[in-house]
Amino acid sequence: MDIVILGSGNVATNLAKAFDAAGERLLQIYSPNIEHACVLAEQVGAEGISNLSEVVRNADLYIISVKDDAIEQVAQSLTEVSGLVVHTSGTTDLKSLSRYLKRVGVFYPLQTFSKSRLVSLDDVPLCLESSNDDDLSILIALAERLSSRVYQLDGEKRKVLHLSAVFACNFPNHLYVLAAKVLKESGLDFDIMRPLISETADKVMSNMPFDVQTGPSVRRDETTINKHLSMLNNLPHLQEIYQTLSNSIKIIHK
Ligand SMILES: NC(=O)c1ccc[n+]([C@@H]2O[C@H](COP(=O)([O-])OP(=O)(O)OC[C@H]3O[C@@H](n4cnc5c(N)ncnc54)[C@H](OP(=O)(O)O)[C@@H]3O)[C@@H](O)[C@H]2O)c1
C-alpha cells in the first residue's frame, strides 16, 4: 500500500516506522517544519515535504496525524486526492474529514507514543472507523497486519476511550512529574520511585484499580493527610491537587 503521512510527531513517527517495517511504501512525510519532515522521511525512505500543495494525489492512504486542532485545516488541502484519508485522533469527529472529503476514516491507536521511543504495535488496540464498508475493510486488513487487537468503534465510543485514557495515562504521568518535583525540592532522586510506580501499574494488570487502592485517604488517616498538606504550604498548586485527589478517593471509597 502507498501511504502518505501528514505529521512527523509522536504518532506519525511510530506509525511510519511500523508501516515501513510491515513492508508498506511510505511516499511522503509532511510537517510544517521541513527539518522535522525530512528527519522522519529519511528513516522510512520517503520524501519530506512542508507544503501541503506538494502532497501526491495517487497514494492509497493518507494518514493525518497532526495536532487535533489542525486536522480540519489539513483535510481541506486534500480535496484532490483519490485515496482514503484517515486521522489518528481519539476525540476528533469523522465529520472533520467527511465535511471536505469522500473517502474518510479513523485509525486511532490506544497507546501513549513519544517520538523518542519506538513502541511495538503488536498488542496496541487499533480503533477503526469508516462510514464506507469497503474503506473499513481496507483499514481492518492493514491494522490486522500490525496488531492483534483491532476494534471497529463508532466516534462516541472512541471519545469515551480517549477520555478514559487521559485519566489512565496522561494524568498519572503528570503526577509523576509532580512527584519528581517534590523529591527534587529535597534533593532526592526520582529513581527511588521507579519500583513503586512499576508495582502500581503491575497490580492493575490482574486486579481492578478500585480493589488495590492504598494510601492515607482510603485509610482515612487524617493526621497524615494534614501533615502532607502543610508540607505543601509553599507549593499551593500541588496542595490543591493533593486535596482534590484525596477528596476524590474518599468519595469513590465511601
Ligand atoms: N501521542 C500520543 O500518545 C497519541 C496517541 C493516540 C493518538 N494521538 C493523536 O495523534 C495525533 C498526533 O499526536 P502527536 O502526539 O503525534 O502530536 P505531536 O507529536 O505534537 O505532533 C504533531 C504534528 O502536527 C504538526 N502540526 C502542528 N501544528 C500544525 C498545524 N497547524 N498544521 C499542520 N501540522 C501541524 C507538528 O508539526 P512539527 O513537526 O512542526 O512539530 C507535528 O508534526 C493527534 O490527533 C493526537 O490526538 C496521540
Task: Based on the fold, state whether residues 167 and 145 are members of the same structural domain.
Answer: no
Domain boundary among 153, 185, 213: 153
Query: Whole-angstrom Cα distance, residue 76 to residue 62?
Result: 13
Sequence length of the chain is: 254
- Write out pLDDT tens, residues 229-249: 999 999 999 999 999 999 999
**Rounded to the nearest 5°, which phi and psi values hold at 173?**
-65, -40
**Mean of pLDDT over the chain:** 98
Task: Based on the fold, state whether residues 141 and 182 are members of the same structural domain.
Answer: no
CA 113 to chain centre: 6
**Rounded to the nearest 5°, which phi and psi values hold at 229?**
-60, -40
Q: Name residues whose C-beta falls within 8 Å of residue 128's C-beta, 6 or more positions apart in sequence.
A: 105, 106, 107, 108, 136, 139, 140, 143, 150, 151, 152, 153
Ligand 1 centroid to residue 12 C-alpha, Å: 8
- What is the per-residue pLDDT for 16? 98
Q: Which residues line ligand 1 (CB under 6 A)?
A: 7-12, 31-33, 36, 65-68, 70, 73-74, 88-90, 108-109, 112-113
Contact call for residues 26 and 5 (beta carbons, < 8 A): yes
**What is the arithmetic mean of pLDDT over 28-39?**
98
- What is the per-residue pLDDT for 73? 98
Query: Whole-angstrom Cα distance, residue 204 to residue 28?
Result: 40
Show the domain range for 97: 2-153
Task: Based on the fold, state whether residues 220 and 122 are members of the same structural domain.
Answer: no
Helix residue ranges per DSSP H, 123-235: 133-146, 155-165, 171-185, 194-206, 216-219, 222-231
Q: Which of 8, 10, 64 to mutate to test the pocket of ligand 1 (most atoms within 8 A of CB)?
A: 10
Contact call for residues 126 and 143 (beta carbons, < 8 A): yes
For residue 128, what pLDDT band results from cuts at 50, 70 and 90? very high
- Write out pLDDT tens, residues 58-100: 999 999 999 999 999 999 999 999 999 999 999 999 999 999 9
Task: Based on the fold, state whether residues 141 and 225 are members of the same structural domain.
Answer: no
Task: Based on the fold, state whether residues 122 and 173 are members of the same structural domain.
Answer: no
User: Which position has the grid cell 528527519?
Assistant: 39
- What is the per-residue pLDDT for 28? 98
Number of the ligand 1 atom closest to the C-alpha atom of 69 = 31
For residue 112, what pLDDT band results from cuts at 50, 70 and 90? very high
| Residue 200: CATH number of its domain | 1.10.1040.20
For residue 175, what pLDDT band results from cuts at 50, 70 and 90? very high
Task: Based on the fold, state whether residues 174 and 248 are members of the same structural domain.
Answer: yes
For residue 9, what pLDDT band results from cuts at 50, 70 and 90? very high
Domain boundary among 128, 153, 178: 153
| Residue 84: CATH number of its domain | 3.40.50.720
Contact call for residues 40 and 12 (beta carbons, < 8 A): yes
- What is the per-residue pLDDT for 190? 98
Q: What percent of the chain has pLDDT over 90?
A: 100
Ligand 1 centroid to residue 88 C-alpha, Å: 9
Task: Based on the fold, state whether residues 180 and 134 are members of the same structural domain.
Answer: no
Task: Based on the fold, state whether residues 96 and 170 are members of the same structural domain.
Answer: no
Give the C-alpha distances (Å, rounded to integers) separating 232 from 26, 106, 187, 229: 51, 44, 16, 5
- Write out pLDDT tens, residues 185-203: 999 999 999 999 999 999 9
Torsion angle of C-alpha atoms 108, 66, 116, 32, degrees rounded to 10: 160
Q: What percent of the chain has pLDDT over 70?
A: 100
Task: Based on the fold, state whether residues 106 and 167 are members of the same structural domain.
Answer: no
Tell me the Ramachandran region of residue 187: left when phi exceeds 0, alpha when psi lies from -120 to 50, beta otherwise: left
- Write out pLDDT tens, residues 156-171: 999 999 999 999 999 9
Contact call for residues 143 and 127 (beta carbons, < 8 A): no
Task: Based on the fold, state whether residues 110 and 176 are members of the same structural domain.
Answer: no
Ligand 1 centroid to residue 7 C-alpha, Å: 6
Task: Based on the fold, state whether residues 130 and 192 are members of the same structural domain.
Answer: no
Number of the ligand 1 atom closest to the C-alpha atom of 7 = 43
Ligand 1 centroid to residue 9 C-alpha, Å: 5
CA angle (57 as vertex; 118, 128 as ends), nearest 5: 45
- What is the per-residue pLDDT for 84? 98
Task: Based on the fold, state whether residues 52 and 142 are members of the same structural domain.
Answer: yes
- Overall number of domains in the chain: 2
Domain boundary among 129, 153, 177: 153
Q: Which of 36, 40, 50, 65 to mutate to test the pocket of ligand 1 (most atoms within 8 A of CB)?
A: 65
- What is the per-residue pLDDT for 225? 98
Name the amino acid, one letter, at 117.
R
Handedness of CA 243, 181, 163, 69 (dihedral sign): positive
pTM: 0.96
Ligand 1 centroid to residue 67 C-alpha, Å: 4
- What is the per-residue pLDDT for 200? 98
Contact call for residues 147 and 122 (beta carbons, < 8 A): yes
Number of the ligand 1 atom closest to the C-alpha atom of 73 = 32
